[in-house]
Amino acid sequence: MNKKLFYFIPYTLWLVLFVGAPIILMLLQSFMSIDGQATLANYQIFFGSGTYLRMMFNSVWYAFLITVITLVISFPTALFLNTLRHKDLWLLLIILPTWINLLLKTYAFIGILGHNGSINSFLQFMGFAPQQLLFSNASFLLVAAYIEIPFMILPIFNALAEIDNSLINASYDLGASKWQTLRHVILPLSADGIRAGIQAVFIPSLSLFMITRLIGGNRVITLGTAIEEHFLVTQNWGMGSTIGVVLIIAMIITMFVTRERKKGGNKY
């Protein structure tokens, strides 16, 4: 028993120092006014201001859209990947972009979407007038979805790979159509992967901020933008922490809603 405890020390230390302590510091900070007095004012400002509530709405709404877009693309992709012969190789190609720095990828998109970028050059070549692509909601969603998509495909792919093929064959043998098999066999069995994918995409999407400026041209304002400003420009760490706490609560809610439910319930 003592030995077991001993092995736990590094992990516990890590948790306490790098997970527990920062969250507690942030919580304390969020109850501080700019003069260092304990106060609830930051929360009052947050929930009493149309600006912050709209930002909160933007954050959740865009995170939701990004999650839906990635999910809609990822599930069929993962299904398809599982039928291929060299699936590990194909999977590697999907994971490959995550090895490249996020900022570099974003800058690459500026080159693609820009006024004189690849897409517009192509449009002009085809005889169309160049379009304004950058600084639009659509381009923001495109880039954000592109960046998040490997994190959605990976867990779904793994969940699908674990499904016993004989179950699917049994479903066909019993007269189920392709659609019925998908709906009643594959989907429930891959639900854990989908949940993990949603968590891995929705939660980071809540606090995106660099892309909102570079691709969105600050036309899409989310809470990440406000946190950056409070910590760097106005030095109002209390308010910045309050927004951070609100985001953490939003993330906890997400985890709770998408948590793994006890098996055996009647889900259909």
Partner 1 sequence: MKKLIYAALAIILATSLLWVGSIHFERAQNAETGTNGNKVLNLYNWGDYIDPALITKFEKQTGIKVNYETFDSNEAMVTKIKQGGTSYDLTVPSDYMIQKMKKENLLLPIHKSKITTLKYIDKRFLNLAFDRHNKYSIPYFWGTLGIVYNDKYVKRHEISQWNDLWNSKYRDKIMLIDSARDILGLSLISQGNSLNDKSSADLQAAKGKLDALMPNVKAIVADEIKMYMVQEEAPIAVTYSGEAAEMIAQNKHLHYIVPTKGSNEWFDNLVIPKTAKHIAAAYQFINFINQPENAKQNAEYIGYATPNAKAKQLLPKSIRTDQQFYPSAKTLSKLQVYQDLGQKKTQEYNDLFLEFKMTNR
Q: Does residue 51 touch partner 1 according to CB under 8 A?
A: yes
Min CB(66)–partner 1 separation in Å = 19
Q: Does residue 22 touch partner 1 according to CB under 8 A?
A: no
Half-sphere exposure of residue 265: CA atoms within 13 angstroms, side-chain side: 6
CB closer to partner 1, 79 vs 117: 117
Min CB(51)–partner 1 separation in Å = 5
Angstrom distance (rounded) from CA 118 to CA 126: 12
Q: Does residue 221 touch partner 1 according to CB under 8 A?
A: yes
* Interaction pattern, residues 85-114, with partner 1; x per rule: CB under 8 A: -------------------------x---x
Task: Find the binder of partner 1 among 182, 187, 213, 251 (CB under 8 A).
Answer: 213
CB closer to partner 1, 90 vs 231: 231
Task: Find the binder of partner 1 among 26, 27, 29, 34 (CB under 8 A).
Answer: 34
Residue 203 contacts residue 165 (beta carbons within 8 Å): no
Angstrom distance (rounded) from CA 152 to CA 95: 11
Min CB(95)–partner 1 separation in Å = 20
Q: Does residue 38 touch partner 1 according to CB under 8 A?
A: no
Q: Does residue 176 touch partner 1 according to CB under 8 A?
A: no
CB closer to partner 1, 80 vs 107: 107
CB closer to partner 1, 199 vs 242: 242
Q: Residues 21, 23, 24, 28: what is their CA dihedral angle, to the nearest 10 degrees?
A: 130
CB closer to partner 1, 112 vs 185: 112
Residues that bind partner 1 (CB under 8 A): 34, 51, 54-55, 110, 114-116, 132, 134-135, 213-214, 217-219, 221, 225-226, 229, 232-236
